[in-house]
Amino acid sequence: MEIRLVSPLSLAFAAAAYIVWRLFRIFLRHHTSSLQYLRGPKPRSWLLGNLAEIYDSQEWVEQYGDTLRFGGILNTDALLTIDTKALNHILNNTASYRRPSLARSGISDFMGKESLISVSNDDSLNVSPQSPAFGPAQVREFTEIFLLKSIELARLWGLKCTEPGPVCVDVVDGLSKMTLDVIGLAGASETPTSLGFVHGKPNELNQAFDTVFRSGTGGASPFKLLKLFFPPLGCLPVSGTKEVRNAYRTMRKIGERLIDEKRETTSRVRGWQEDHRQRDLLTLLIKANTDPSIPESERLTDEEILAREFLVAGHETTSNVTAWALYSLSIEQHVQMRLREECLTIPTDYPTMDDLNDLPYLDSVVRETLRLHPPLNSSMWEATKTDIIPLNKPYIDVYGRPHDYVQVDKDCLVQIPILAVNRSKAIWGEDALEFRPERWDRVPQAAQKVPGTWSNMMTFLGGPRACIGYRFSLTERVQHTLIFTLIRTFEFELAVPKDDVVRQNASIQRPVLRSALDKGSQLPMFIRHI
């Protein structure tokens, strides 16, 4: 049988035809959009529209109202809204809205397209909280692990405080290593070394995680945005690409080894409770996935299992939220003092769940941190069909006419600006931009209409699309445990001017220094041992 190779000219023609077809579809959508009469920012680029400044949506809302239009690729019209009625409609209509292809590509690009993340149109990253992997006993065990690692982090920082006076530490670095240790213990019963490698060499997985997460500190560059729409651009030899790909391969290799080992172990152990050593998240996910009651079509692939393990362990969420909490507490010293006084009423470094539940101000500090500094800036969705979105507050079109609904076309992008919702003065009052835990003593009436899954905020989204990580991080007081330990042990003060600390202009809100953007995420602080 004769095998004919495709000529380079044919491949080039096919690639050109594909690009022309994509561009034509985008051009057609732009000139027939049902959003063309909404107000919104003028596009900054004929190629990327407003995508490069999408993380500045708070300013857009203040200027154009709660519901507005912005430009996507080639200025294709897209919708952005903080209207609570619209948000409720979008998040609860799973058949009408899905994760867009560019968002799925973006998540895969960030976490490792080949290794850890597999996001499908039916939001397959969501795992039922009723799964044995998320039962009260299992999640509580994870909380105990967080407590132990928090105490270890405090001990290591304390070793630096050998001389009188403050000592400077990078809290982002320490918190990131601590939560990587938790992934090892809670996620797969692996022996953690992240915190310990200050005395030695980091292991292979630590280095891979560090490479992947630090690769995202460059923000939303035009090339990154274009790559979301045209994935083949990812093959270009751009600086840093090879290093990140090697890190992905390392993570996949180690992940596959862990799954094989856990699968072999679980085949020898029957029942959920027969061996307390087999209660880590990865083992529980594998057991749940082999349950005879689950249809074959609904079972997870190995990549999806690993995605859940690493995401639920909350590396980025936990470390970033705690870093921002310490940042806010270092600025509002009176809040830090009041919180410390409350935490010191517990006479032990090993609080029970009941102890943590008896600390209302700590709970308010956690809530206020998650409101003011959500880990994710925004969440993007795509309409699967033409839809009518009802509005609580009518928008005014370019001709001055009010509308109490907005129509979106099939394939239209819909942006939910989590940060803008959480910081909206219309929802939270004129002091919405201030760190004020006392606001949780009496939540504003407007905030009670926010369709969030937790505490009247959009931090973890809402409805069927709610992020499962909130249960791991908050329901069992994981976040509270970490802040409790650190604030009892140290006084915190910023080691740089507060205006030098800014949010990284990217999807995940990491703290960076305006004066050292090239050095990635960091937050230097002075600590004093109490």
Three-state SS at 296: helix
Mean pLDDT, the chain, rounded, equals 79
What CA–CA distances, in Å, run from 69 to 18, 46, 392, 436, 494? 28, 16, 17, 32, 39
Q: Give 411-455 pLDDT, tens digit per residue.
A: 899 999 999 999 999 999 999 999 999 999 999 999 999 999 888
Whole-angstrom distance, CA of residue 39 vs CA of residue 42: 9
Q: What is the pLDDT of residue 295?
A: 74
- Among residues 484, 490, 502, 479, the alpha carbon closest in space to that of 169 is found at 490
Neighbouring residues of 190: CB distance < 8 A, sequence distance ≥ 6: 184, 258
Least confident of 58-72, 190-204, 474-488: 190-204
Residue 235 has pLDDT above 70, yes or no: no
pLDDT digits (tens, 9 = 90+) for 366-384: 999 999 999 888 988 999 9
Hey, what are 231's tokens? 């994935």
Q: Return d(Cα 245, Cα 254) in angstroms, integer.
A: 14
Residues in the chain: 530
Q: Cβ(88)–Cβ(458) under 8 Å?
A: no
Share of the chain above pLDDT 70, in %: 66
448 DSSP 8-state letter: G
CA 19 to centroid of chain Cα atoms = 32
Nearest to 415 by CA among 386, 381, 376: 381
Percent of the chain with pLDDT over 90: 42
Note whether 313 and 281 are within 8 A (CB).
Answer: yes
pLDDT band at 172 (very low <50, low <70, confident <90, very high): very high
Mean pLDDT calculated for residue range 119-148: 56
For 233, other C-beta atoms within 10 Å of its C-beta total: 13
Cα-Cα-Cα-Cα dihedral sign, residues 23, 25, 28, 34: negative
Longest dimension (CA), the chain: 82
Q: Single out the residue of 147, 197, 151 nearest to residue 177, CA to CA.
A: 197
Q: Which sequence spans correspond to the domains of the chain?
A: 27-125+379-416
Alpha helices in 161-221 (DSSP H): 171-182, 188, 204-214
Residue 72 pLDDT > 80, yes or no?
yes
Cα-Cα-Cα-Cα torsion 71, 73, 77, 79, nearest 10 degrees, comes to: -70
Tally of CB atoms within 10 A around 173: 17
Per residue in 4-51, pLDDT (tens digit) is 555 667 667 776 776 666 666 666 665 568 899 999 999 888 778 888
Beta bridge partners of 329: none
* Token pair belonging to 457: 């905020």
- Whole-number Å distance between alpha carbons of 66 and 84: 9
Q: Which of 225, 227, 218 is nearest to 54 (CA)?
A: 225
List, as own/partner pairs, every contact residues 9-14 make where C-beta atoms lie below 8 angstroms and the sequence separation is at least 24, other chains included. Answer: none
Question: Is residue 161 part of an annotated ligand binding site?
Answer: no
The residue written with tokens 């249960």 in the block is 471
- What distance in Å separates the CA atoms of residue 33 and residue 48, rounded to the nearest whole number? 17
Count the neighbouring beta carbons within 10 Å of the beta carbon of residue 405. Answer: 15
Which among 248, 178, 168, 192 has a CA at the least distance from the CA of 216?
A: 248
The residue among 248, 225, 380, 217 whose CA lies nearest residue 310 is 248
Burial state string for 318-337 with b = 16 or more CB within 10 A and e = fewer than 16: bbbbbbbbbbbbbebeebbe
Of the two residues 164 and 327, the one the predictor is more confident about is: 327
pLDDT of residue 200: 46
Q: What is the pLDDT of residue 106?
A: 46
Per-residue tokens: 213? 């997460």
Residue 512 pairs in a beta bridge with 502, 521
Q: Write the CB contacts of 453 (distance below 8 Å, at least 6 apart in sequence).
A: 460, 461, 462, 463, 466, 467, 470
- Model confidence pLDDT, tens digit, residues 94-110: 899 998 865 555 444 44
CA dihedral 36, 41, 46, 50 (to 10 degrees): -110
Strand, coil or helix: what is 393?
A: strand
DSSP for 68-131 reads EEEE-GGG-EEEEE--HHHHHHHHH-TTTEE--HHHHHHHHHHH-TTTT----TT-TT---TTS
Contact 305, 167 (CB under 8 A): no
Supply φ then ψ for residue 208, to 5 degrees.
-65, -45
Q: Which amino acid is at 115?
A: S
Q: How confident is the model at residue 73 (pLDDT cuts 50, 70, 90)?
A: confident
Write down the pTM of the prediction: 0.82
**499 — pLDDT class (breaks 50, 70, 90):** very high
